[in-house]
Amino acid sequence: MIKKIVIVGNGEIGEGQAGTIDAADFVIRFNDCRSYGTGGSRTDAVAVCNTGRPAKAMLGSPEWRAHPGVVSAREIWSVRDPEKFAAMRAPLAVSHPDLDDFCDDYTDAFAAFCAETGKAHIVIGKTVHEAVDASLSAFAPAPYVVPSSGMIVIADVLDKYAEAEVMLAGFGHAGWEWHPFAAERQLVDRYIWEGRLRRLGADIAATGRAPYILSRM
């Protein structure tokens, strides 16, 4: 039974968090596992962007395939439902023509990699993505393209492992301009306020923030 899960983003890891991360029952990292090392080494799952340039870069990289985090992972999670992203292609061609390869799908290639390496391949369904969009709407985000992979994974884990203690490390809620990071921070703070989630170490200073409390009134 999985009792403690740590979702490790690619942001700054607080001092002393590596031991707590490695002591968890299940650890999830992202894409190129930049958190590996300073954020411990245990890696049970790697959540990947399975569309667009990040997917193409990972699959074409011998270094990614040989990364100790990727090698040790028992599961690869594709965070982008192919059906959902196929439907996004035409609207994005109008609203964001520079993202012409954003919806290029590499899900089958990740599945093949998993078959070759004896890993389970899990695709996070579009219902999770759509539920995250609905939850984020409460915080009136500026126009965005998609939630971040981190937000999708958080929502999926909270749904699938409702009885587990779920912790975050390495989440700075900053990065690509077309992710709704400000709203995502508020949504994560709401989950923390509800007792469904907590941040490790120094990140705890970000909990209990006023924007969520105000949004509930």
Give me the pLDDT at residue 135, please. Answer: 98
Residues with Cβ within 8 Å of residue 53, at least 6 apart in sequence? 101
Give me the pLDDT at residue 50, please. Answer: 98
Which residues of the chain fall short of a pLDDT of 50? 202-217
pTM of the model: 0.91
pLDDT digits (tens, 9 = 90+) for 134-184: 999 999 999 999 999 999 999 999 999 999 999 999 998 988 999 999 999
* Sign of the CA dihedral running 209, 15, 41, 34: positive
Give me the pLDDT at residue 1, please. Answer: 83
* Nearest-10 Cα torsion for 14, 74, 133, 82: 140
Give me the pLDDT at residue 27, please. Answer: 98
Per the structure block, which two tokens stand in for 33?
Answer: 């596992």
In this structure, how many other beta carbons lie within 10 angstroms of the beta carbon of residue 144? 18
Q: Are 166 and 158 in contact (CB under 8 A)?
A: yes
Rounded distance, CA 75 to CA 198, Å?
A: 24
Helix locations, 125-215, DSSP H: 126-136, 149-160, 181-193, 210-215
Q: Are 183 and 192 in contact (CB under 8 A)?
A: no
